[in-house]
Copies of this chain bind each other. A is one copy, B any other.
Amino acid sequence: MPPGLKDVAKRAGVSIKTVSNVVNGYAHVAADTRARVQGAIAELGYRPNVAARQLRGGRSGVIALALPDLRSAYFAELASMIVQAAEKRHWTVLIDQTGGRADRERDLAGRLRRHLIDGLIFSPLAMAAGEIAVDVPDTPMVLLGERVWHGPADHVAVDNTAAAADATRHLCELGRRRIAAIGAQDGPVAVSAQQRLAGYRAALEQHGRTVDPALIAPAAEFHRADGAAAMGRLLDSGEPPDAVFCFNDLLALGAIRTLLDRGYAVPGDVAVVGFDDIEEGRFSTPTLTTVSPDTAGIARLAVELLAERLDQPLTGDGAAAEPSFREIRVEHRVVPRESTLGRLAARRR
């Protein structure tokens, strides 16, 4: 049984409250008392009990990060950065994979956040984020991704539409004529996919191209296998494209694999652009041109916003000052690499 305040108090010959005061940095503690208590703490190796603190009504120092799948490199990188950002505030991050399943997203919500968690950073996929708020109206939440829902949460996201347009424009400017898109998704929840599609459309129209529905390939999920399959379908159905904008890097890498398997040159025959700038794309063959969102910025901002909400005691009252929830856009840029420029051009950089 680990030592508690009581043990420390006995050892130092003071009351438990005094020990508590020392632990929490209360100002009016006599210097010698403080020293004695700290000595006892060190000797016994006392550590505050998180559960008790939490129960008492305070903070647990644990925030949750809910995201669809750690196996996607982008989410892994994002998680990694959020953990780092949280570390600076001495927060521990509880990572939970929702698998994109709505039931799991909801369950997670109810079970943990309610009591154990000070706040939540949530990267929803399947779930209309609104559902989550119903369960736990009091837990501060930051949503990553497009603002699909106007509830009480801050949002941090890249401008998907603009970014997708930039990527598509890059292909246009390279003189590509038949530019395909991989990653279209239906349904009210696939907001990111739809905005990337909208950006793709907008850029094409801006360049005076018509949007050919045959060049828009759906993808059930955003993994390599989906990209590979979608690319296969594009190649099988009529005239092949000479460029593809994939809605994330994994789709792009899968697509490239199919292209090379079938004897197409990348970017000679087909140029490929991805989205996310995962590390893999910097080492793949060819290296992958991609849209690089400021993921570090997303992580930092998400943690900062959460910290602000936690600092505000709580809104509480009723209808008085309705809290304003911010929507923050982070930067993005297109990073040209071999999959659109070819080897020499990319190396020259």
Known contacts A95-B95, A96-B92, A260-B285; decide if A71 and B77 are in contact (CB<8 Å). Answer: yes
Interface residues on A, range: 35 or more
Do the beta carbons of B71 and A83 come within 8 Å of each other? Answer: no
Known contacts A52-B55, A55-B55, A260-B285; decide if A47 and B111 are in contact (CB<8 Å). Answer: yes
Does A69 sit within 8 A of B, measured CB to CB?
yes
A-side residues, CB < 8 A to B, are 2, 45, 47, 49-52, 54-55, 60, 62, 69-71, 73, 76-77, 79-80, 83-84, 92-97, 110-112, 114-116, 135, 138, 223-225, 228, 253-254, 256-257, 260, 279-280, 282-285
Q: How far is the CA of A54 from the CA of B112 in the complex (A)?
A: 13
Do the beta carbons of B83 and A76 come within 8 Å of each other? Answer: no
- Closest A-B pairs by Cβ, 10 of them: A51-B54, A95-B95, A76-B76, A224-B283, A51-B55, A51-B51, A49-B115, A70-B76, A94-B94, A285-B285
Chain B residues, CB < 8 A from A228: 283
Do the beta carbons of B285 and A51 come within 8 Å of each other? Answer: no
Do the beta carbons of A60 and B51 come within 8 Å of each other? Answer: yes
Do the beta carbons of A93 and B95 come within 8 Å of each other? Answer: yes
Chain B residues, CB < 8 A from A50: 51, 111-112, 115-116
Do the beta carbons of B73 and A69 come within 8 Å of each other? Answer: no
What are 26 A-B contacts with C-beta separation under 8 Å? A51-B54, A51-B60, A51-B115, A52-B55, A52-B115, A60-B116, A62-B116, A69-B80, A70-B70, A70-B76, A70-B79, A70-B83, A71-B73, A73-B76, A76-B76, A83-B97, A92-B112, A94-B94, A95-B95, A224-B279, A224-B282, A224-B283, A253-B280, A253-B283, A253-B284, A284-B285
Q: How far is the CA of A73 from the CA of B76 in the complex (A)?
A: 8
- Residue in chain B with minimal CB distance to A287: B257
Chain B residues, CB < 8 A from A93: 94-96
Do the beta carbons of B92 and A94 come within 8 Å of each other? Answer: yes
Q: How far is the CA of A246 from the CA of B120 in the complex (A)?
A: 39
- Residue in chain B with minimal CB distance to A284: B284
Among B55, B97, B110, B282, which residue has its beta carbon within 8 angstroms of that of A80?
B97
Known contacts A83-B97, A111-B47; decide if A71 and B279 are in contact (CB<8 Å). Answer: yes
- Residue in chain B with minimal CB distance to A256: B285
Q: How far is the CA of A110 from the CA of B90 in the complex (A)?
A: 13
Chain B residues, CB < 8 A from A45: 135
Chain B residues, CB < 8 A from A54: 51
Q: How far is the CA of A38 from the CA of B77 in the complex (A)?
A: 43
Do the beta carbons of A96 and B110 come within 8 Å of each other? Answer: no
